[in-house]
Structure 1
Amino acid sequence: MVIHWENIVITIIAFALLYWLLNKFAFGKLFAVMEKRRELVRGQLEEAKQTREQATVYVEEQKEALKQARQDAFEIIEQAKQSSSKQALDLLDQAKADATRMKEEAIRDIESERTKAVDALRGEIGAFSVNIASKLIEREVENNPADQEKLVDQYLKEVGSRS
């Protein structure tokens, strides 16, 4: 194999000329397109990173909101339990108060009726006593005038002491 120096020099000159022409006309545009593409990919990667971070933040916010909603629901349920318990106690207290009031009214009514009945009985007993006494007095007075005077004095003393 024979090496021709002329061919090597011509090849180097052709290669240098080709490189210079490519550098002048093609590499700039090619590198600019590649740089745009690299910036586009870098921007998309950065955008994807930001989107992922936003999604993570959003997921955390949603978890916190869900946790808060559960806590609020639990508090509402507890308030409802307490409220219903308080209402039940209030109703029970009201029922007890009503029962006590009705019992007291019934006792007053019974006492009033008893008093009326006792007064009526006293009146009837008094009327019977007067009838019996008048019959006895009539019998005694007819038989003994001295006893009649004694009986009148005794009655006047009793009436005087009641006044």
Structure 2
Amino acid sequence: MQSLAGMLVLGAGAGFQPGDILYQLFIFLILLALLRKFAWGPFIDVMKEREDHIANEIDTAEKNRTDAERMSKEAQEDLKKTRQEAHQIIEEARKTAKTQEQDIIAAARVESDRMKDAARQEIETEKDKAIQALQDQVATLSVQIASKVIEKELSDQDQQQLINDYMKELGEER
């Protein structure tokens, strides 16, 4: 190669010869073939690998994006279903609470009516007892008055006084 380089330098000083041009063209073509085989081929292969790698990365990213969108839609649908279920549960709870409220009110009314009836019966019983006691007292007083009248004969004024006295006693006993 030193001789080749020397010839190139020598040829530059003497002018161009047709043989030199052919020789330089031949050397240039050999250099191109060598570059193509040892430099350009591996460079193209590296670039092709790089292109394939980038294409794979883009495909993977696109697939991941598609999966993420699908998962996002599924999550939104699940969230929507969950909200609907929660709303249904709340509505059912409201209906159940309203039904229970009505049942409690009805039971309270029934119990209130039962207590009123029991109180009325008790009042009637106590009223009957009081009437019976009063009748017993009147009978007793009548007997007492009759026995006292029999014991002594009274004038109309004494008889009125005796009735008034017994009425006062009756009022005090109550």
Show the counterpart of 2:109. 96
Alpha-carbon distance between aligned partners in 2 of 1:100 and 1:8, rounded to the nearest angstrom: 130
Could you tell me which residue of structure 1 aligns to residue 139 of structure 2?
126
1:9-158 mapped onto 2 (5 Å cutoff): 9-10=22-23, 12-131=25-144
Structure 2 distance, partners of 1:126, 1:31, is 139
1:158 counterpart residue number: none
Structure 1 unaligned regions, length at least 5: 140-163
Amino acid at match of 2:104: L
Partners in 1 of 2:108 and 2:21 — Cα distance? 120
One-letter code of the match for 2:80? K
Cα separation, partners in 2 of 1:12 and 1:114, compared to 1, 3 Å: same
Task: Tell me the SS of whatever aligns to 2:120.
Answer: helix
**Displacement of 1:81:** 1.2
1:115 deviates by 1.6
Whole-angstrom CA distance in 1 between matches of 2:84 and 2:78? 10
Q: Identity across aligned pairs (percent)?
A: 34
Greater relative contact order: 1 or 2 (C-alpha under 8 angstroms, separation 6 or more)? 2
Offset at residue 31 of structure 1 (A): 1.6
* 1:99-136 residue CA offsets vs partner (Å, 9 max, x unmatched): 11210121121111012012112312333454566689
Tell me the CA shift for residue 14 of structure 1: 3.4
Runs of 4+ in 1 over 6 A off after TM superposition: 132-136
Could you tell me which residue of structure 1 aligns to residue 172 of structure 2? none
Structure 2 residue runs of 5 or longer lacking an equivalent are 1-16, 152-174
Query: What is the number of equivalent residue pairs in this alignment?
Result: 135
Letter in 2 for 1:73: A
Correspondence for 1:148: none
CA RMSD of aligned residues (A): 2.7
Cα shift readout 1:44-70 (whole Å, capped 9, x = no counterpart): 111111111111111111211220121
Give the TM-score taking structure 1 as reference length: 0.68
Q: Could you say what secondary structure the match of 1:24 adopts?
A: helix
